[in-house]
């Protein structure tokens, strides 16, 4: 491997940092440059809506650091903060920044992630917040500290619901307004979505569905949320939890194929040779889920980083290419109302689902003819087994058979017995669309 090779990574969050880390781990000894348009060292986002707002991080803000400060220097990774990439150049491969600096490179990795989506008419109004960055989290935490008051969350997605949990636990009166007729409706069938938010009542969070929210009517400070049917909800603070959009704007005119993310092959290669994309901004095919979509999840960003680092290392060697591909089932977790919700595979609202529960533990399987996803509440071990079923292409009925036993199976490894209760099984037909 040549020493002069330079890998330029744009975006220094979990995906970008993973590429750098895995390159070093896989023995790449060329130059690694990481560009970030943020002004702070790379941090982790999942705790922002959870332990950060709740104030329970073991070492406070320091716990958010993706790697400790010394890591970049020690691994010879050049981290350039406050540097915004404006263009990928392909005549001389590299990146031009907003300050017109040009970084030539042998490989460019796009890891610019996603931004919080806003709603027309809402963005930038005082008292209306989103949560994506550490800065957003600081503003939100400061607002919550001034409370308690009345918080309205628009959107019953994972992040909105996590914010609702934290605010309610801090004494706020929380109202969640969702346009669809069920929570988490972008990913889950209604019965499963409702199962995930069962804890809301106990946490004093009111969630209402089929809520058609109007644009705010003028005025500097939004003091209420108005629905099309005339109902109003008073609010001291409003949080928009309506999803994210991939940060691909800067790639316009670069010749890379982008629609809802940068289109990649199974090793993360874009339509341009030696340009790669990873994490929330990238659309990869996955051989287990048979989907070619963006996956906005932490572990996926990690997996992408490892695979692209492996692929780049291969490209710099003279051996014939046998690039690694993404062949593990993606998974993610969320903390909803004090319960650990985990999902592996690819779920969609129109799938069949079967739910089994034993006490507080829940295992659900989703699929068509094939098993497509496994959801578990307070039962990570079930996700471990479920992932294996997904990887070997199990049928839906195999998944159902397994789920019937899985909820009641001991969460501890064999040997330790839990007090098993007979599982109660519930079958849900697909939702009519």
Ligand X SMILES: Cc1cc2nc3c(=O)[nH]c(=O)nc-3n(C[C@H](O)[C@H](O)[C@H](O)COP(=O)(O)OP(=O)(O)OC[C@H]3O[C@@H](n4cnc5c(N)ncnc54)[C@H](O)[C@@H]3O)c2cc1C
Which residues lie near ligand X (CB under 6 A)?
Answer: 10-16, 35-38, 45-46, 48-49, 84-85, 111-114, 131-132, 159, 247, 250, 279-281, 296-299, 301, 332-334
- The answer to whether 169 and 54 are in contact (CB under 8 A) is yes
Minimum gap (Å) between residue 260 Cβ and other proteins:
25
256 binds, among ligand X, other proteins, none (CB under 5 to 8 A by kind): none
CB nearer to ligand X: pick between 192 and 394: 192
266 binds, among ligand X, other proteins, none (CB under 5 to 8 A by kind): none
In angstroms and rounded to an integer, the radius of gyration of the C-alpha atoms of the chain is: 23
H-state helical runs in 104-251: 134-146, 158-169, 190-196
Stretch that binds other proteins, among 2-10, 201-209, 286-294, 410-418 (CB under 8 A): 410-418
What is the SS3 assignment for 357?
strand
Cβ burial, residue 265 (10 Å; 0-12/13-18/19+): middle
Task: Please tell me the distance from the alpha carbon of residue 380 to that of residue 81, in angstroms, as a whole number.
Answer: 36
Task: Please tell me the distance from the alpha carbon of residue 202 to that of residue 214, in angstroms, as a whole number.
Answer: 29
Instruction: Give phi and psi for 259, each to the nearest 5.
Output: -150, 125
Hey, which residues between 37 and 56 contact other proteins (CB under 8 A)? 44, 46-47, 51
Of the candidates 58, 124, 219, 429, which one interacts with other proteins according to CB under 8 A? 58
58 binds, among ligand X, other proteins, none (CB under 5 to 8 A by kind): other proteins
Stretch that binds other proteins, among 89-97, 179-187, 235-243, 405-413 (CB under 8 A): 405-413
For 323, other C-beta atoms within 10 Å of its C-beta total 17
Q: Assess 203 for contact with other proteins (CB under 8 A).
A: no
Of the candidates 122, 250, 276, 331, which one interacts with other proteins according to CB under 8 A? 331
CB nearer to ligand X: pick between 39 and 215: 39
254 binds, among other proteins, ligand X, none (CB under 5 to 8 A by kind): none
Of 131, 135, 130, nearest in space to 119 by CA: 130
Q: Interface mask (CB under 8 A) for other proteins, residues 284-313, using x and -?
A: --------------xx--x---x-------
Length, in residues, of the chain: 433
Of the candidates 369, 413, 419, 433, which one interacts with other proteins according to CB under 8 A? 413
Q: Assess 66 for contact with other proteins (CB under 8 A).
A: yes
**Which residues are registered as beta bridge partners of 87?**
96
Task: Please tell me the distance from the alpha carbon of residue 375 to that of residue 364, in angstroms, as a whole number.
Answer: 5
- The answer to whether 26 and 75 are in contact (CB under 8 A) is no
Q: Assess 59 for contact with other proteins (CB under 8 A).
A: yes
């Amino acid at each position: 491997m040549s020493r002069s090779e330079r890998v330029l990574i744009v975006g220094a969050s979990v995906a970008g940092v993973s590429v750098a880390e895995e390159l070093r781990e896989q023995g790449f000894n060329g130059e690694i440059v990481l560009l970030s348009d943020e002004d702070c060292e790379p941090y982790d986002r999942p705790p922002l809506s959870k332990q950060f707002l709740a104030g329970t991080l073991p070492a406070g803000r320091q716990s958010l650091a993706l790697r400790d400060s010394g890591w970049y220097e020690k691994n010879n990774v050049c981290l350039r903060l406050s540097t915004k990439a404006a263009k990928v150049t392909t005549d001389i491969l590299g990146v031009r920044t907003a300050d017109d600096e040009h970084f030539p490179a042998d490989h460019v990795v796009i890891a610019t992630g996603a931004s919080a989506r806003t709603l027309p008419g809402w963005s930038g109004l005082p008292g209306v917040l989103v949560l994506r960055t550490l800065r957003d989290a600081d503003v939100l935490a400061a607002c919550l500290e001034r409370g308690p008051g009345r918080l309205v969350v628009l959107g019953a997605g994972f992040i909105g619901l996590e914010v609702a949990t934290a605010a309610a636990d801090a004494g706020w009166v929380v109202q969640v307004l969702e346009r669809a007729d069920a929570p988490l409706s972008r990913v889950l069938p209604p019965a499963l979505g409702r199962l995930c938010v069962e804890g809301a009542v106990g946490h004093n969070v009111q969630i209402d569905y089929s809520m058609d929210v109007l644009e705010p009517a003028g005025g500097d400070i939004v003091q209420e949320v108005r629905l099309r049917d005339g109902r109003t909800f008073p609010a001291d603070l409003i949080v928009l939890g309506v999803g994210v959009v991939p940060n691909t704007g800067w790639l316009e005119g670069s010749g890379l194929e982008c629609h809802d993310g940068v289109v990649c092959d199974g090793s993360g290669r874009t339509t341009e040779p030696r340009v790669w994309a990873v994490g929330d901004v990238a659309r990869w095919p996955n051989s287990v889920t048979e989907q070619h979509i963006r996956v906005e999840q932490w572990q996926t960003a990690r997996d992408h980083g490892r695979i692209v680092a492996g692929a780049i290392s291969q490209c710099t060697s003279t051996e014939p290419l046998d690039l690694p591909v993404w062949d593990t089932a993606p998974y993610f977790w969320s903390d909803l109302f004090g319960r650990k919700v985990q999902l592996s595979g690819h779920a969609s609202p129109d799938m069949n689902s079967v739910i089994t529960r034993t006490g507080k533990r829940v295992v659900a399987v989703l699929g068509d003819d094939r098993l497509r996803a496994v959801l578990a509440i307070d039962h990570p071990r079930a996700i471990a087994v479920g992932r294996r079923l997904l990887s070997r292409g199990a049928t839906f009925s195999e998944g159902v058979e397994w789920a019937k036993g899985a909820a009641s199976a001991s969460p501890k490894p064999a040997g330790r017995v839990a007090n098993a209760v007979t599982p109660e099984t519930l079958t849900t037909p697909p939702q009519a669309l």
